[in-house]
Structures are given as C-alpha cells and as structure tokens.
Amino acid sequence: MSFSDYLENKILAYTFSGTAFTPATTKKLALYTVAPNDNGSGGTEVSTSGTGYVRQTVAFSTTASQSSNSGAVEFPTATASYGTVVAVGVLDAVVNGNLYAVGTLSVSKAISTGDVFRIPVGDLDIDLT
C-alpha cells in the first residue's frame, strides 16, 4: 500500500511548514471493486446496500519504514455478492472520509453470498519504499 495524496500533503505541510495535523485515532479499512487513485477519486467501494458490507476498524504497528496491521481484519459475512475485490484503502471515517493509503491486492477475490473477507495479522503493509 502507498500513501494517498491527502496524507502526503498533510505530512509535507506538517514537516516543512509546521501546519498541525492530527491523524484519526481510529482507521477504517474499505474494500474496492475498482481501485481508487492516490487522490481518492475513481474507485468503486463495495456497496453497503443489502450486502452486509461495512468498513472495518484496522490498527497498525510500525517498525523501521513499514506499518502492518496488528490485528486480523474480518468483514461481516456477505449477505449478497460484493463483486470482485481488487483493492483496499485506509480511511479516517466509517462513511466518506479522507483516504490515507491505498493498495491493490496481490490476488483479487470474488466475494459471494456467505463468504467472509479476512486479512490475517501482518498481511496489510504500508511502506515508504
């Protein structure tokens, strides 16, 4: 995963101009069937209408130049097809909000009725390389 334009701009402004930035204490993970751009546009998030889908809380631990999810992330059992999930994003709100980081999955995953989308501990990495 890589930083979004939003987060890059906040970090630059804080570091070089002293503009205060307080990141959200709770981060939410979103699933996308079309990956958003770094500026947060162009993506298609899984529909919340009748699918059982809702963004999930994700927490991170950081070492060296990488942050990884410190707990498993599990989405609710799909009550209808999510479609094929191709990307994930970290945002600062349950609905709408600012995109902090985005990344495409190494393998896309079709989520059908009855499926559960899971990300094991340490499998979601955000790095500066």
For residue range 51-80, list pLDDT tens digits in order: 999 999 999 999 988 999 999 999 999 999
Q: What is the mean pLDDT of residues 31-41?
A: 95
The whole-model pTM stands at 0.94
Q: What is the mean pLDDT of residues 114-125?
A: 97
End-to-end CA distance of the chain: 10
For residue range 6-21, list pLDDT tens digits in order: 999 999 999 999 999 9
Q: What is the mean pLDDT of residues 34-59?
A: 96
